Chains A and B, each alone.
Chain A
Amino acid sequence: EAGVTQFPSHSVIEKGQTVTLRCDPISGHDNLYWYRRVMGKEIKFLLHFVKESKQDESGMPNNRFLAERTGGTYSTLKVQPAELEDSGVYFCASSLMEPNEKLFFGSGTQLSVL
């Protein structure tokens, strides 16, 4: 069974550019989460999808970040325009059901904004 897949694994962009990160959850997982780790600090929650609906987007830092999950399958996270402080590792995770159902994480996208 394929795990959670994230693409790209690394992205280097300049300040002001746009970047789109993609996450393919495990097939059949309705729950999809985005997290990020900035500058080696804590991993922080960004948002949670249940199928195609945003269940909780309280962790989204500002309106430069847009997450979508059309059709309830893969998800994208777009940063436009990117700022220096957006650099970090963006993790995606998926699970079958909640509460406290086991989360499966992807290996993350390392984003560097120069």
Chain B
Amino acid sequence: GDSVTQMEGPVTLSEEAFLTINCTYTATGYPSLFWYVQYPGEGLQLLLKATKADDKGSNKGFEATYRKETTSFHLEKGSVQVSDSAVYFCALSKAAGNKLTFGGGTRVLVKP
């Protein structure tokens, strides 16, 4: 079946550092790919998405490119802030419906 694998955390880094969270997937067909973020005490929020190969999703300084050849959707941000501390989830869905398959989540802690 479909699956998503992302790097385990926690990832601890200093403010203004470069952040990368790796995500790879296994799926038949052509899934859409997502990054969701969960800030402390809140629900998951859609951070960005890409619906086809070579698409780049971006939001709030975060970017991820849909790489079909490597089945990857790595999340990057050039300069993190303390407010970026959260748990980040990579996910995919097929065309039929919003049934998401999630990775295990990566906790990111940004220190001032």
Q: Which residues of A pack against B, CB within 8 Å?
A: 3-4, 31, 33, 35, 37, 40-45, 48, 55-56, 91, 93, 95, 98-108
- Cβ contact within 8 Å between B99 and A45: yes
- Cβ contact within 8 Å between A31 and B98: yes
Query: By the criterion of a CB under 8 Å from any partner CB, how many residues of chain B are at the interface?
Result: 25
Q: Which 9 A-B pairs have the closest CB atoms?
A: A105-B43, A43-B102, A105-B44, A107-B43, A106-B43, A98-B97, A42-B104, A42-B102, A45-B99
CB of B22 closer than 8 Å to a CB of A: no
- Cβ contact within 8 Å between A99 and B44: no
CB of B100 closer than 8 Å to a CB of A: yes
Which B residues are CB-close (under 8 A) to A99? 93, 95-98
Contact with A along B75-103 (1 / 0, CB 8 A): 00000000000000101010111111111
- Cβ contact within 8 Å between B104 and A41: yes
Q: Bound complex: CA of A99 vs CA of B66, how far in Å?
A: 18
Given A48-B98, A55-B97, A103-B46: 16 more A-B contacts, CB < 8 Å: A31-B98, A37-B105, A42-B101, A43-B89, A43-B91, A44-B102, A45-B101, A98-B98, A99-B98, A100-B51, A100-B93, A103-B100, A104-B43, A105-B43, A106-B43, A107-B41
Which A residues are CB-close (under 8 A) to B32? 100
CB of B42 closer than 8 Å to a CB of A: yes
- Cβ contact within 8 Å between A105 and B45: yes
Q: Bound complex: CA of A105 vs CA of B37, how far in Å?
A: 11
Which A residues are CB-close (under 8 A) to B36? 105
Which A residues are CB-close (under 8 A) to B101? 42, 45
- Cβ contact within 8 Å between A100 and B45: no
- Cβ contact within 8 Å between B99 and A48: yes
- Cβ contact within 8 Å between A107 and B42: yes
A95: nearest residue on chain B (CB-CB)?
A: B98
Q: Tell me whether A48 and B43 are in contact in the complex, defined as CB-CB below 8 angstroms, given that A42-B104, A43-B89 are known contacts.
A: no
Q: Bound complex: CA of A93 vs CA of B34, how far in Å?
A: 15
A94: nearest residue on chain B (CB-CB)?
A: B98
- Cβ contact within 8 Å between A100 and B98: yes
Q: Bound complex: CA of A66 vs CA of B41, how far in Å?
A: 26
